[in-house]
Structure 1
Amino acid sequence: MASSSGTSSGSTTTTTTLTQNSGSSEEDLQALMDERKRKRMISNRESARRSRMRKQKHLDELMAQVTHLQKQNHCIAGNINLAAQHLLNVEAENSVLRAQLGELGHRLQSLNEIIGFLKDDGDDDHGIQNTSLDGFLNPFNLAYLNQPIMASADNMLLY
């Protein structure tokens, strides 16, 4: 911005200095903005890096938890299978015992009927005791009752 008269060289120098100062000021302002932008970019990169690290750490924790839960699940499934097998064994044994109970109940009923017949026959003799009855009622003389009782879970459907 020079003067229109051109006579004053001091005003020309002042105008040039202002122009240089304003140009320098714009450059300083631009440099300051560039510096802030660079710092913000570095800060954003660091924040993104921390975020990725947190995300990776969380993912690793979740994977460890999945592994732990899979191991627990496998262990529980094994325990369930073991308990189910034990249950089947107990049910089979229970069926055998029920069959034996039924068989023994029938035998007891038959023996009670035989004892009832023998006692009735002994009373017909009017007080004369039947000697064959003593041998029959003697618990040590019951060899014919020592037969094994055969029952299994396969035969349970037949009863």
Structure 2
Amino acid sequence: KRMISNRESARRSRKRKQKHLDDLTAQVSQLRKVNDDIMANVSITTQHYMSVEAENHVLRVQVAELSHHLQSLNDIIALIQSSMDPTGFTDEQYGWGSGNAFVVDEFMNNSLSYLSATQPILASSVDTFMY
């Protein structure tokens, strides 16, 4: 009778161990799936981050160019205003020729040609900035 009891106890023990092993195998499978999902989300998030970084770089370059452009326009306005008398007419319109006419014309021509010569930023492709 004792031998039969021991056999039954060993059988139950093997059964518990097998169930525990099956449970652990299922848990490993589930954790691998969760890990794969997390890795996919990290990859997508990294791609979005790189895309936003590339767009931010383009925007920073555009801000720098537009700031330079604005400064040039402000310089033009300041130069024009400094060459006018209180009535709003330049010395050249009076025929006095202050000597600044050539400088003003040259500055205006160069600045205006700069305006027409500016090109749009070609860094619109996100792939350009992928590392």
Q: Structures share a fold, TM > 0.5?
A: yes
* Deviation (angstroms), 1:151: 4.7
Q: Deviations over 1:39-66 (max 9, x none)?
A: 1110000000000000000001001100
Match of 1:16 in 2: none
Residue in 1 that maps onto 2:121: 150
Alignment of 1:37-76 (within 5 A): 39-76=1-38
2:103 aligned partner: none
Query: Amino acid of the residue matched to residue 80 of structure 1?
Result: V
Runs of at least 5 residues in structure 2 that lack an aligned partner in the other structure: 94-114
* Structure 1 runs (4+) greater than 4 angstroms displaced: none
CA distance in 2, matches of 1:113, 1:151: 27
- 1:127 is displaced (CA, Å) by 1.6
How far is 1:150 from its partner?
1.0
> Aligned residue for 1:83?
45
- Bigger Rg over Cα: 1
The 8 Å contact of residues 122 and 128 in structure 1, kept in 2 or not, is answered as yes
Tell me which residue corresponds to 1:113: 75
Quote the offset at 1:148 in angstroms.
Answer: 5.4
The residue type equivalent to 1:107 in the other structure is: H
Q: Structure 1 residues 67, 88: closer, same or farther in 2, change over 3 A? A: same
- Residue number in structure 2 paired with 1:98: 60
Contact 1:122 1:129 in 2 (8 A): yes
Structure 1 residues 114 and 105, CA gap change in structure 2 (3 angstroms): same
Using the alignment, how far apart are the partners of 2:121 and 2:30 within structure 1? 49
1:78 & 1:90 partners in 2: Cα distance?
A: 18
Normalising by structure 2, report the TM-score. 0.70
TM-score (norm 1): 0.58
Query: What is the root-mean-square deviation of aligned Cα atoms in Å?
Result: 2.5
Q: How far 1:120 moved relative to its partner?
A: 1.0
Indicate how the Cα distance of structure 1 residues 128 and 43 shifts in structure 2: closer, same or farther if over 3 A, else same: closer
What whole-Å deviation, never above 9, does each CA across 1:131-158 have from its counterpart, x for those lacking one? 9xxxxxxxxxxxx57x653152869xxx
Cα distance in 1 between the residues matched to 2:62 and 2:76: 21
